[in-house]
Each structure stands twice: as structure tokens, then as C-alpha cells.
């Protein structure tokens, strides 16, 4: 048996722990393991993969990033190719991916990724590739699972950063706005905002009004609190408004951002209160995974090998109600999970007086 492992999409803390456990579990069964570099990109080169050995995965459980490299432009169905006139054409190399893996003698692929990677995995499985997926994304927006690897670490980093920023808010009687990642879902904002006792949390699932935010700041002042902490998801949007978009790069999803800067300007203009905004950015994806992320990543990696061992292909290994399960990749491909408005987390935020902007 020979398997390949790839890490697609953005990096997330915990990827290396999956690579380690999947590799070791496979090697212990006498299988061969090959690591694909930068998503599927190495399959179009002369060096399509590198052998993963016990030595290669030694000591990587606690390392952030991915030893295999990641690729946001890694969709083999639409590879952007720069033309002499500066425009791009898109080339479909998906057949090459399938044939190259067959040529290398690869029987199955462990694809570690988020919604984009699972969408690709599903399309490649329709071309005959045998895949087992592992759910990765700091955004926690993959359907069918309670949590994805990287999310816990991202929330911890965001919470710690917001805690630190709150001291400046208090000392200077400022409104401090912290913009966190999460794409079109508010999981990171909601969890880190709650954990750091934010006064206002704005998430894409609940379009906000500026009036609602200003009213909360006024209420705080009436109760003697001169400073405020606002956590805003990068995907937050105004009622009847669109997401704040920073830009779009070739072959990639749109880049969200700008909500915090917009709020800073508007709050200062409307209230005169000293206001500052901070964008946490990629540090939320960086560095060592939390203990929880290390553990689920190790469990996901070994479970993927157990799935391959019994021929349970085209499944995504997930954590559901605290148990490992396998669900069809087809059921998650092309979908994404937002924060349910009736979730107890939302109700808790409201019950303790946090303004959600509506």
C-alpha cells in the first residue's frame, strides 16, 4: 500500500500533527508514504513527492504551519497561467493529478484541508481518486463536524491578543476594535469575543447597524464605563450592506477586511471618543497548536489511515459530539457552516449583555 498526504489551502496549527500521526500509523502497517509539496502543485513537476519516514516527521507535532507547504492557488481544475499581455488563462490539470498519482503507485490520498480542499477532493474522487479527508481550517466553517483543526488555537491567540488590547482600552478610555479572521463565518469572533469579555461582537451571521454599536457605547458610558472593546469578524457586514472586501488575487477567494477601520472612522466621527482599530491577521494561524488541536490532529491522522485500511474512501474524518466519525466528502463539498442564530453561544452573549449589532 502506498499513500500520499497533502495539505491544501491556508496553513493552520495542527497540520503537522496530522502528517505525523498519519505517516507513523501508515508506516507501522508496512505502507509507503509520500508527501506532496504545496497542495497538488508538485504533481506537475519533476519532483512530485518526497518520502515521509519516521525521521521526517520526528518532533513536528508541536510545530505550526506545514512541513509539506500549502497552496491557496492549488485548484488543479483551474490553474492560473500568466499570459504575455498580463492576463490569465485557466488550465485544467486534474487529469494529470490523477494519472501522476497512479504512475507513482499511490493507492489513496489523505487530503487535509477546508471547504475548498474538500470540494476539490470530491471532484477528484469523481475521477477515480481514492481520498480520505481531514478537516482543517481556523475558520471552523466546515459542515458536518463540531470543530476543525486550527480553530481552537486561533481562538486562543485571538483571545490573548484581545485581553492585551483591553488594557490599552481601559487606560486610555478608548474604544478599541479588533478585527479577527473567519471568512464568512463568525466563529472566531464570537468565541474569542465572549472569552475576552468584549462589549460588542459583530459577526457575518448578524448584519449590524452603526446605531446599535453607538447605543451600546452610550449605555456603557451611562453606567460609568468609559472604554469599550469591540470584536469584529472580517466577514461582518452592515444591514443591507455587503462584506468589507480588501481585494481579490488571481486564482484565490476574495480577501475580506476593512470592517474595523471603517468602524474606527465612524465611531470617532459620531462620538468623538478616541478609537483605535487593530487587525490581528495571520498571527491567528501561526505558531504552535494548542493541546486540543494537537490531540484532534493526531486522532484525525490515525483515523484517516484506519479508514484507508478498510477501504472506506471518499470520506471526511470528523469530530462530532466528541467522537470520531467518517462522513461522505460529497456531503460537505461546496457547503459551509455558519454560527446558528439559535445556538446557546449566541444566547449566552445576549444574556450577559453583549451587543451583537442588531
- What amino acid positions are annotated as catalytic residues? 139
Q: Is 139 near ligand F6P (CB under 6 A)?
A: yes
Sole window of 73-81, 91-99, 180-188, 218-226 interacting with ligand F6P (rule: CB under 6 A): 180-188
138 contacts ligand F6P (rule: CB under 6 A): yes
By beta-carbon proximity to ligand F6P, the closer residue of 106 and 177 is 177
- Residues in contact with ligand F6P, shown as a per-residue x/- string from 20 to 59 under the rule CB under 6 A: ----------------------------------------
Of the residues 216, 285, 299, 337, which one makes contact with ligand F6P according to CB under 6 A: 285
What does the block give as the cell for 203? 459577526
Does 152 help bind ligand F6P (rule: CB under 6 A)? no
Which residues have CB under 8 Å from 39's CB, separation 6+? 6, 7, 8, 9, 69, 70, 71, 74, 117
H or E segment at 348?
helix 344-351
Q: Which is nearer to ligand F6P, 137 or 275 (CB)?
A: 137
Smallest distance, ligand F6P to C-beta of residue 256, A: 5
- Nearer Cβ to ligand F6P, position 23 or 156? 156
Q: With CB under 6 A, what is the number of residues at the site for ligand F6P?
A: 12
* Number of Cβ within a 10 Å radius of residue 85: 5
Question: If DSSP states are collapsed to H, E and C, what string results for 222-237?
Answer: HCCCCCEEEEEECCCE
- Minimum Å gap between C-beta 66 and ligand F6P is 13
Question: Residue 292 is placed in which grid cell?
Answer: 486540543
Is residue 181 near ligand F6P by the rule CB under 6 A? yes
Of the pair 63, 72, the CB lying nearest ligand F6P is at 72
Query: Could you write out the DSSP letters of every residue in 36-81?
Result: PSTTTGGGGSS---EE--TTTTTT-TT--S-TT---TT--TTSEEE
C-beta of 51 vs 334, nearer to ligand F6P: 334
48, 182, 186, 258: residue in contact with ligand F6P (rule CB under 6 A): 182
Site string for ligand F6P, 224-263 (x = CB under 6 A): ----------x--------------------xx-------
In the bound state with ligand F6P, the residue whose beta carbon lies nearer, of 57 and 202, is 202
Nearest to 320 by CA among 144, 188, 137, 153: 144
Residue 223, judged by CB atoms within 10 A of its CB (0-12, 13-18, 19+), counts as exposed
* Residue 327 near residue 146, CB atoms below 8 Å: no
**Single residue of 72, 209, 271, 273 touching ligand F6P by CB under 6 A:** 72
Distances in Å between the Cα of 275 and the Cα atoms of 161, 247, 266 are: 17, 25, 10
Which residues in this chain contact ligand F6P in the complex, by CB under 6 A?
10, 72, 137-139, 181-183, 234, 255-256, 285
Amino acid at each position: 500500500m502506498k499513500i500520499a498526504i497533502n495539505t491544501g489551502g491556508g496553513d493552520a496549527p495542527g497540520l503537522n500533527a496530522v502528517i505525523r500521526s498519519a505517516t507513523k500509523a501508515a508506516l507501522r502497517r508496512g505502507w509507503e508514504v509520500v508527501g506532496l509539496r504545496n497542495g497538488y502543485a508538485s504533481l506537475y513537476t519533476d519532483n512530485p513527492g518526497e518520502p515521509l519516514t519516521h525521521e521526517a516527521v520526528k518532533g513536528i507535532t508541536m510545530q505550526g504551519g506545514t512541513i509539506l507547504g500549502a497552496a491557496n492557488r492549488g485548484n488543479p481544475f483551474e490553474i492560473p497561467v500568466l499570459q504575455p499581455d498580463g492576463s490569465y488563462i485557466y488550465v485544467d490539470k486534474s487529469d494529470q493529478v490523477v494519472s501522476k498519482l497512479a504512475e507513482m503507485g499511490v493507492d489513496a490520498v489523505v487530503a487535509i484541508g477546508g471547504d475548498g480542499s474538500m470540494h476539490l477532493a470530491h471532484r477528484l474522487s469523481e475521477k477515480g481518486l481514492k481520498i480520505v479527508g481531514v478537516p482543517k481550517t481556523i475558520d471552523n466553517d466546515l459542515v458536518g463536524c463540531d470543530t476543525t483543526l486550527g480553530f481552537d488555537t486561533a481562538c486562543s491567540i485571538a483571545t490573548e491578543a484581545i485581553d492585551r488590547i483591553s488594557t490599552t482600552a481601559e487606560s486610555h478610555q478608548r474604544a478599541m476594535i479588533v478585527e479577527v479572521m473567519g471568512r464568512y463565518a463568525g466563529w472566531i469572533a464570537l468565541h474569542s469575543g465572549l472569552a475576552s469579555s468584549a462589549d460588542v461582537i459583530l459577526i457575518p451571521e448578524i448584519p449590524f447597524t452603526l446605531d446599535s454599536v453607538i447605543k451600546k457605547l452610550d449605555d456603557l458610558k451611562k453606567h460609568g464605563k468609559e472604554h469599550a472593546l469591540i470584536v469584529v469578524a472580517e466577514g461582518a457586514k452592515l444591514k443591507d450592506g455587503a462584506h468589507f472586501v480588501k481585494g481579490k488575487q488571481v486564482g484565490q477567494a476574495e480577501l475580506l477586511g476593512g470592517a474595523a477601520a471603517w468602524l474606527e472612522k465612524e465611531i470617532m466621527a459620531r462620538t468623538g471618543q478616541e478609537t483605535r482599530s487593530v487587525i490581528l491577521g495571520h498571527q491567528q494561524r501561526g505558531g504552535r497548536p494548542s493541546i486540543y488541536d494537537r490531540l484532534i490532529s493526531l486522532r484525525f491522522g490515525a483515523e484517516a489511515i484506519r479508514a484507508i485500511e478498510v477501504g472506506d474512501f471518499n470520506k471526511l474524518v470528523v469530530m462530532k459530539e466528541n467522537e470520531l466519525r467518517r462522513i461522505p466528502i460529497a456531503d460537505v463539498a461546496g457547503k459551509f457552516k455558519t454560527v446558528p442564530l439559535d445556538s446557546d453561544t449566541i444566547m449566552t452573549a445576549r444574556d450577559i449583555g453583549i451587543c451583537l449589532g442588531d
